[in-house]
Amino acid sequence: MNSVVVGIDLGGTNVKTAVVARNGRMRGKDSRPSRADDGLDAVVDTMVASVEQALENAGADPSDMLAVGVGAPGPMNWRTGIVFSPPNLPGWKDVPLADIMSELLMVPAYVDNDANVACWGEFWSGAGTEVDSMVCLTLGTGVGGGIVVDGRLVRGIDGTAAEIGHLNVMRDGRQCNCGAKGCLECYASVSGMERTALEGIEAGRPTILTEMCGGDLDKIDGKMISDALQKGDEFAAWVMTETGIWLGTGIGSLINLLNPEMVVLCGGMIAAGEALFRPVRETAQAQSFDVPGARAQIVPAGLGPDSGVIGAAGCALQRFEEEN
């Protein structure tokens, strides 16, 4: 067996693990509940067990492991591998996660921001394998981001760069969890889309969503909007278009700013397909200069839900190779 690198996608709900060859191909994987509510030790136990299972599924031996990489929710210090206190990992405070994983698995371990590793996964082994510069947006509850310039992640002096969800797209706009107003994330995430739907319904626009949620508007979520869209609901189509326009606005700014070869969209929301991508592309092009606007391909993730877990392995491999 050739040497492999292991990637872990650490979320508040699930831990996903992949065993990846040096060429970026996945050899085996595992996924299990994180047990985040049981605290740090339970999560660490889960990660170790998941790595062992993924190695077995790949037909690999622990001694084949070169390194392990974890994509974790921020805030964190990616250089030291210390995770501060992510909202969805209760009880975590300044956890030296890289050191813990390195000691337990007896290989070098690296920790990176989850949106950065998803970007790196797409760059290394997904939609972006043919390009040198790209921007990646992860559309979930929030909007995460990653930026690659000249083949390297843009991390920033404190490692906090690429917070694409916190581009300001509307002065005095919606209140964001980050404290600012009008962030892209307030409009272009799944929760932003839900907010757009709620505002529309409260303004009296007709939609089958009112019926679908049984009158309880709080039950309206991304899945329900997507179902309404499938059923031909015009309002749901409008909500998706609005979301795409906001997203395209932010992407237009990124194109003017970075002139990348590619913009990759990740996350469950991209399943909406052209209903989302059409307004995104139209708006991004209208809002950017001709040359960079025509250059930047706006495409869905090539690795589907595995951008993060493969990218965690890829980031670890790159850092391991730079150190050795």
Stretch that binds its own copies, among 28-36, 227-235, 286-294, 306-314 (CB under 8 A): 286-294
Of residues 146 through 165, those in contact with its own copies by CB under 8 A are: 147, 149-150, 152, 154-164
Of 73 and 250, which CB lies nearer to its own copies in the complex structure?
250
Is residue 244 involved in binding its own copies (CB under 8 A)? no
Is residue 232 involved in binding its own copies (CB under 8 A)? no
Q: HSE, CB side, 13 Å, CA atoms: give it for residue 201.
A: 22
Q: Residue 110's closest CA among 271, 283, 320?
A: 320
Of 178 and 271, which CB lies nearer to its own copies in the complex structure?
178
Q: How far is the CB of 265 from its own copies (least distance, A)?
A: 17
Q: Among all chains, which residue has been given the structure tokens 């272009």?
A: 188
215 contacts: CB under 8 Å, gap ≥ 6: none
Of 34 and 283, which CB lies nearer to its own copies in the complex structure?
283
Is residue 143 involved in binding its own copies (CB under 8 A)? no
Is residue 52 involved in binding its own copies (CB under 8 A)? no
Of residues 71 through 110, those in contact with its own copies by CB under 8 A are: 75
Among the listed residues 27, 29, 166, 319, the single contact to its own copies using CB under 8 A: 166
Among the listed residues 167, 225, 263, 299, the single contact to its own copies using CB under 8 A: 167
C-beta of residue 132 within 8 angstroms of C-beta of residue 150: yes
**Measured between alpha carbons, how far is 203 from 194 in angstroms, rounded to an integer?**
14
C-beta of residue 5 within 8 angstroms of C-beta of residue 110: no
Stretch that binds its own copies, among 3-11, 221-229, 230-238, 254-262 (CB under 8 A): 254-262
What residue type is 193 in one-letter code? M
C-beta of residue 123 within 8 angstroms of C-beta of residue 134: yes
Is residue 271 involved in binding its own copies (CB under 8 A)? no
Q: How far is CA 75 from CA 89, 121, 230, 310, in A?
A: 11, 20, 37, 21
Is residue 318 involved in binding its own copies (CB under 8 A)? no
Q: How far is the CB of 259 from its own copies (least distance, A)?
A: 2
Both ends of the chain: CA-CA distance in Å?
21
**Measured between alpha carbons, how far is 29 from 319 in angstroms, rounded to an integer?**
22
Q: Which two tokens stand for residue 2?
A: 């050739």
Among the listed residues 259, 282, 300, 305, the single contact to its own copies using CB under 8 A: 259
Chain residues in the site for its own copies (CB under 8 A): 75, 132-133, 145, 147, 149-150, 152, 154-164, 166-171, 178-181, 245-246, 249-250, 252-254, 256-261, 286-289, 291-292, 295
